[in-house]
């Protein structure tokens, strides 16, 4: 009898977990859809232009150009993005490009036009957390909340 009860409990809990996972997946898709390509480009430009991030780019060094960003759900080949008149490359891994930057969006609140992000430069050992917020003039403004070094 206990085995039957445990089996029923297991099946019910598994079904609940599957429903929660499906809900999370739908939520993630919805969050991805709420940022237009134009928004993503403006967010990237705002992050890269912030003084606390910009100082790690070293765009004056020829070997650092073009800027390389690790592809993810938000920033990838579907975007055509230029920074300082040079096309940004979206790459798949660090092995080939050790100067590639990782820029991840961790929390997106489309109703308030706020995006939390993490920036990591492996070659510089810089780890930055921040927030990008859209103002009334449709500009995305970056605020840095934490800067760390590895």
Amino acid 150: pLDDT: 77
Region class of 86: left (phi > 0), else alpha (psi between -120 and 50), else beta: beta
Q: How far apart are alpha carbons 55 and 116 in whole angstroms? A: 20
Q: What is the pLDDT along the chain (150 residues), one digit of tens a residue?
A: 554 443 344 444 444 334 434 444 444 444 556 899 999 999 999 999 999 999 999 988 898 899 999 999 999 999 999 999 899 999 998 778 889 999 999 999 999 999 999 999 999 999 999 999 999 888 899 999 999 987
Amino acid 7: pLDDT: 38
Q: Is 129 exposed, middle or buried (0-12, 13-18, 19+ CB in 10 A)?
A: middle
Q: How far apart are alpha carbons 29 and 25 in whole angstroms? A: 6
Amino acid 49: pLDDT: 95
């Amino acid at each position: 009898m206990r085995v039957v009860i445990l089996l029923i409990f297991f099946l019910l809990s598994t079904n609940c977990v599957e429903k929660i996972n499906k809900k999370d997946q739908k939520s993630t898709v919805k969050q991805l859809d709420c940022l237009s390509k134009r928004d993503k480009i403006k967010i990237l430009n705002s992050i890269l232009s912030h003084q606390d991030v910009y100082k790690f780019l070293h765009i004056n060094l020829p070997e650092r150009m073009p800027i390389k960003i690790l592809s993810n759900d938000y920033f990838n080949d579907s975007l055509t993005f230029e920074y300082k008149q040079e096309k940004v490359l979206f790459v798949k891994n660090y092995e080939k490009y050790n100067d590639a930057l990782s820029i991840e969006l961790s929390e997106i609140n489309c109703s308030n036009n706020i995006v939390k992000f993490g920036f990591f430069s492996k070659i510089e050992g810089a780890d930055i957390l921040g927030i990008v917020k859209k103002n009334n003039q449709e500009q995305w403004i970056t605020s840095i909340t934490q800067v760390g070094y590895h």
